[in-house]
Structure 1
Amino acid sequence: MSVQMIDYIWLKFQTWFGLVMNLAEDSRMIMMLVSCTMAVAFILNVQSGRTILQDVARSLANKRLKSRLDRQPSPINIAESGVIRRQLKLPLRWTHYEDLPMATVLENNGSTVILRIYTAPNFLPHISGAELGGSYHFVEAIFKWGILQSEHSIGKQKFCLEMQALHRCSKKGGTVEYLTVSHLFSLTQVKNERLKQIADNLKWILRPGSSIELPPFDLGSLLLPFAEGHYTYSGTYDNGEVKLPTTWLIDSQVSGVNSHQLAQFGVLYRTDGSRIRSNVREEQPLGTRSVHFHY
């Protein structure tokens, strides 16, 4: 399926869903039926969240894409001495991150934990502003973990958990098609309350291919939007099934996670039956690429 066909189908769906939601606004019963139907459909077809990414990746599976991925590997160490500092004219804007989605699903795909949401198209969380040149809509969030084995590091300092949120700009206004927001976590003695809703439910998705619907919560309470103070560079996103070229946007503010919460990630199983003690990629050389710090 081509990218154009996917965008066409998505546009038709948005039009249809918008009409349904307009009717639902006038009837509480219709709104309840729509919410329940869509939530059930999303749970029964949890695979659909990855289908769009897989189709896009297949349509781009050519030598040109492979060459681009090879030129900008991730993850990297961010050496402060080599960072280019740039002052933003506009802050980042986070829209609809405070809204409750209709359904929130957590899945173990055998490589990582994937968080996806289902909501009305016109309420899909997105990022804009700064120097992005377009709106980047939330696709999914994944987690990478290991004792002192985070993917990205800053000044050679390793972390133990990294949350990576993939976003996509389907219009030509964006400077790039994919944007990935990264939050780093270091080991502390204090439980991270915003990760509690994720960590406490991992016991229900121990086996690869399993998933669970979470009690609804707004993405803003998990991702913690920020306006500035972040690093950017060109790299790659990898959820274990799909690998995509992306611009990384790494928050410089490091959060904490305690050992019990971290251990809950490490008991998940891979497709080969082994535990996912760590799922981070090896550090890659920066090469001729640049890292910017936006303040």
Structure 2
Amino acid sequence: MSDSNGAAENPHKKARTSPYPGSKVERSQVPDEKVSWLVQQPDYKPVKYIAGSVLAQPTWADPPMGKRNFSPKFNEEDGHVERRSQNGLYEVENGRPRNPAGRTGLVGRGLLGRWGPNHVADPILTRWKKDGKGKKVIHPVSERNVLQFVAIKRKDCGEWAIPGGMVEPGEKISTTLKREVGEEAMNSLQKSRAETQDLEKQLHKLFSQEHSVVYKGYVDDPRNTDNAWMETEAVNYSDDTGEIMDHLSLEAGDDAKKVKWVDINDQLKLYASHSQFIQLVAEKRGAHWREGMYSNCHD
């Protein structure tokens, strides 16, 4: 994605879109050739914005910069808060961390709670699509098996996405993955005690399955700013037999409006960088992705 000075090979795009999510704030425009911090831009005047929900100082957000007793340790594990980046060291200028992927046209934190990296976990649950007789469905053009994944429709923007969420301070990634699937794709927060116990068994079985880390690092997200950005660990849990995945009781909850199994292909329009993660899974599993020649390049 970039080196520590923000020399982006593929400049982030969603991190430069306007208006900023949940607001009418327009970013300063940054052309592709001026995204990198290595390119001098003396007339760069980014807009400053921090959402009211962040300024209210909920437990998941840092205090404002300069507040008494707040001196964050950037590029370190700061108490229970992970301020290290999965992409290596990032620059800190005038006491504020600098987005490793370059300029975004906006300073402050926007909707993000932490200065610097904001860590999320994205669980990608997959199964092979089957016909009425239980046989794997083969795509007629690519002649590859069709893979499906669990997708949620986000309440905040209406886009389809991988169910995922923020890693809580001191929390293991595996715990976040399990919690987010339970809350968003199985509505665990609204279940009775008995239903919750059954769900726990189902989730334990599910997360004992084969899994692989698909991607770790910076995410091109519309919430990113010059001083705060999203980083993820996307993990694929697959079930070749369908013994567990076929019996998952999907039910939208928490931040999700809908949840369903979706066929994987290159026509998917997903939130943030989620299409990229899904493509990586399809290629790794040797599943259908596009109708043309099977490609190993990551668009």
Q: Which of the two has higher C-alpha Rg?
A: 2
- What is the TM-score when the length of structure 2 is the normalising length? 0.25
Higher share in helix: 1
- What is the TM-score when the length of structure 1 is the normalising length? 0.25
